[in-house]
């Protein structure tokens, strides 16, 4: 699993490692809401609002699950 707030790094690692890595993008930092930058790269596997939101996930969900956003994960947990 790779957690980074830089879409460029997440996309490069995903391209190199494919399904062997789960990419996680915390929407914080300078790229959090930069639509142009976000549209330039492949979507990460998991997107969270804050890095602390990862505490709500179990490892199996993060590593083996499909692409998911924090909001959808919260809805599924209900």
Burial of 45 (0-12, 13-18, 19+ CB in 10 A): buried
d(CA 58, CA 72): 15
Question: What is the residue whose two structure tokens read 């998991």?
Answer: 46
pLDDT at 30: 84
20-43: per-residue pLDDT in tens?
899 999 998 887 888 888 899 989
Tell me the average pLDDT across 41-61: 87
Strand partners, 24: 3, 46
Question: Is residue 45's pLDDT more than 60?
Answer: yes
Q: What is the pTM of this model?
A: 0.75
What residues contact residue 47 under an 8 Å CB cut-off, 6+ apart? 24, 25, 26, 27, 68, 69, 70
Question: Is residue 64's pLDDT more than 70?
Answer: no
Structural domains in the chain plus CATH codes: 2-77 (3.40.50.1000)
């Amino acid at each position: 699993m790779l957690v980074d707030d830089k879409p460029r790094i997440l996309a490069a690692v995903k391209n190199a490692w494919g399904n062997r890595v789960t990419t996680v993008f915390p929407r914080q930092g300078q790229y959090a809401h930069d639509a142009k930058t976000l549209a330039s790269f492949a979507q990460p596997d998991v997107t969270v609002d804050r890095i602390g939101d990862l505490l709500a996930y179990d490892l199996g969900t993060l590593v083996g699950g499909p692409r998911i956003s924090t909001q959808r994960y919260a809805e599924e947990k209900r």
